[in-house]
């Protein structure tokens, strides 16, 4: 049986690329923190945001544009907004 084609979405792909760049930037900023306790706190809080992006990219790669990937993108946006509101970099 032939494999079903993934539905793609240019806007979601652009959002994912921006999310990956933002993850890299914030990770670099966190790694620049000199105080290890504060750095550890930031890394722990940021882990959930990073996981959301990893899950989004993996799901989009396998399933393409669908309700689940839309939900993961919304989850990422909510988590990154919350992280930026709670932690100053």
Closest CA to 72 of 28, 15, 3: 15
Rounded to 5 degrees, φ, ψ at 31 are -65, -20
Give the residue extent of every domain in the chain: 10-86
Give residue 5's pLDDT band: very low, low, confident or very high (50, 70, 90).
Answer: confident
Give residue 67's pLDDT band: very low, low, confident or very high (50, 70, 90).
Answer: very high
Residue 66 DSSP one-character state: S
Please report the pLDDT score of residue 80 as a whole number.
97
Please report the pLDDT score of residue 46 as a whole number.
97
Please report the pLDDT score of residue 1 as a whole number.
57
Please report the pLDDT score of residue 88 as a whole number.
87
């Amino acid at each position: 049986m032939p494999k079903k084609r993934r539905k793609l979405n240019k806007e979601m792909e652009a959002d994912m690329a921006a999310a990956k760049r933002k993850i890299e930037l914030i990770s670099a900023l966190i790694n620049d923190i000199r105080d290890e306790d504060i750095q550890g706190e930031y890394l722990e809080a940021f882990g959930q945001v990073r996981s959301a992006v990893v899950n989004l990219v993996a799901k989009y790669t396998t399933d393409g544009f669908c309700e689940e990937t839309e939900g993961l993108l919304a989850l990422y946006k909510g988590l990154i907004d919350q992280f930026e509101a709670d932690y100053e970099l």
